[in-house]
Chains A and B, each alone.
Chain A
Amino acid sequence: GQNIDQPTEMTATEGAIVQINCTYQTSGFNGLFWYQQHAGEAPTFLSYNVLDGLEEKGRFSSFLSRSKGYSYLLLKELQMKDSASYLCAVRDRGGYGGATNKLIFGTGTLLAVQP
């Protein structure tokens, strides 16, 4: 089966650091994405990990451990505009000989940044 777990909600303070965890169990893992989604808007790409380790991109970093089925997204120097839902998604090869590469999403973590 396929299962992706992440916390439903988190609250953090402006200027602080927050870590959003994601655990997954999928049959055809082929990379993990983090997307940001503001209310009523489309998801936008934040990061991609396919090998173990940390990927850093400005204020955002993402970590992957394939053996543990675990990833986290780290947001530094939080700003009010970071208040959004953060979606963890696993790329699944899918059907048709593995050509699909569809995304399997978690439910998302709603982050509220407070002043």
Chain B
Amino acid sequence: DTGVSQNPRHKITKRGQNVTFRCDPISEHNRLYWYRQTLGQGPEFLTYFQNEAQLEKSRLLSDRFSAERPKGSFSTLEIQRTEQGDSAMYLCASSHRTDPTYEQYFGPGTRLTVT
């Protein structure tokens, strides 16, 4: 069990550019979540996948954001036309389908800085 991994760990981009982040959940975890965390705040829910189906999206997720989970394994989060307000830590978490507590295991995050 290697845990949840995320790439890249850090991304610096200029305003207006597109960025894509990748999350590899723990093997056999069918549930995958994306959260965003800014300094001094707790993580905020962005979106949820059960297998390959995206079942819920937060209203925080504007149309510049899109997430996919092809084949129900890894997931990508893309931000188009980045804005300075997008600067944050983007966290991915996964949980196992048979875990009754739905405990979520978090990855190390991707820190995005938009200049």
Interface residues of A (CB under 8 A from B): 4, 31, 33, 35, 41-45, 48, 50, 87, 89, 91, 94-96, 99-108
* Inter-subunit contact A45/B103 (CB<8 Å): yes
In the bound assembly, the distance between CA atoms of A115 and B103 in angstroms comes to 33
Contacts of B56 in A (CB 8 A): 94-96, 100, 102
B50 within 8 A of A: yes
Given A43-B43, A106-B42, A107-B41, residue A99 in contact with residue B109 (CB < 8 A): no
In the bound assembly, the distance between CA atoms of A102 and B102 in angstroms comes to 9
Contacts of A35 in B (CB 8 A): 106
Given A41-B108, A42-B91, A42-B108, residue A33 in contact with residue B42 (CB < 8 A): no
Contacts of A95 in B (CB 8 A): 55-56
Q: What 0/1 pattern do residues 22 to 45 of B give for CB contact below 8 A with A?
A: 000000000101010000111111
* Inter-subunit contact A108/B108 (CB<8 Å): no
Contacts of A87 in B (CB 8 A): 42-43
Q: Which 4 A-B pairs have the closest CB atoms?
A: A105-B42, A42-B106, A96-B55, A101-B102
CB distance from A56 to the nearest CB of B (A): 16
Contacts of B91 in A (CB 8 A): 42-43
B7 within 8 A of A: no
Residue in A43, A50, A105 whose beta carbon sits within 8 Å of that of B101 in the complex = A50
Nearest A-chain residue to B40, judged by Cβ: A107
Given A50-B101, A99-B50, A102-B33, residue A44 in contact with residue B106 (CB < 8 A): yes
CB distance from B101 to the nearest CB of A (A): 5
B105 within 8 A of A: yes
* Inter-subunit contact A108/B106 (CB<8 Å): no
Nearest A-chain residue to B58, judged by Cβ: A102
CB proximity to A under 8 Å, residues B38-94: 40-45, 48, 50, 55-56, 91
* Inter-subunit contact B42/A107 (CB<8 Å): yes
B13 within 8 A of A: no
